[in-house]
Amino acid sequence: MTAKRLTTRRVEKPWGRHSLWPGFTDPPADGAPVGEIWFQDETEETPELLVKYLFTAERLSIQVHPDDAAARASGHARGKDEAWVILAAEPDSTIAIGTRGPVSREMLRAAALDGSIEALVDWKPVKPGQVYYSPAGTVHAIGAGITLIEVQQNVDLTYRLYDYGRPRELHLDDGIAVSDPEPFVPNFTPETPAPGRTILAEGPKFVLERWRAPRGRIALPPGMSGWFVPISGTGDIAGEAWQAGECWLVHADATIATDGESDVLFAYPLAERIDILR
């Protein structure tokens, strides 16, 4: 099998919602809010990437992730770079990414302890269609009223620096040690090398592309996997029907077709783009 539909896992979060996104069943009004939907391959322990939907009603914690070296030193397989594709946002929705100016780790710790870190990080307004690639070490927080797709290195490793008084564990020592408290500077500007194909993010840990009405053959190098994420539309991949709200793991060459208009993300773990769709 060259393409396999991944299993969905619903994750309850205190900042989640009861109204999700078309294609996903809303949790009951008296149930816990759902903040994330993960797409997982139950036959593999740790594939290199993980794809999620996030649904926020409140701000997420101000947090940071370690790079590969720091993560491996603490017994994990890899660090965590991540990218966010904004699908929907309220008019006043924001994302914090980086700090407003360079700060010392000592100042970052003090700000996390007294709450002034909320003003220390750089809250940027967001709107549908925007993309952010957040490297490991970036101090960040996703704000309220946002629906997004997150593509990340596959590790469940988050160091919370500040959580607005919620009764959850913080990880100040580990988080401060791996933080790079500097203003965020994007490492890539989206490019459209061909009609219907946009490169949203390019390395250092993965490439993320967006395809409009894709048709043809996905050609992956030997041993590489790719993540096919339909945002809208329907079609088939490797002879199997796909639809929005799914995620497929592609292991080798696979033909792809779409019925009418469609909007698809495709991610693969490589530092530079390759000619995937032919």
Residues with a catalytic annotation lie at 160
On the CB side of 255, how many CA atoms lie within 13 Å of its CA?
Answer: 6
Residue 60 neighbours by CB under 8 Å, 6+ apart = 15, 141, 142, 143
Specify the residue for token string 């840990």: 205
Distance of alpha carbon 256 from alpha carbon 236, whole angstroms: 6
Distance of alpha carbon 211 from alpha carbon 24, whole angstroms: 22
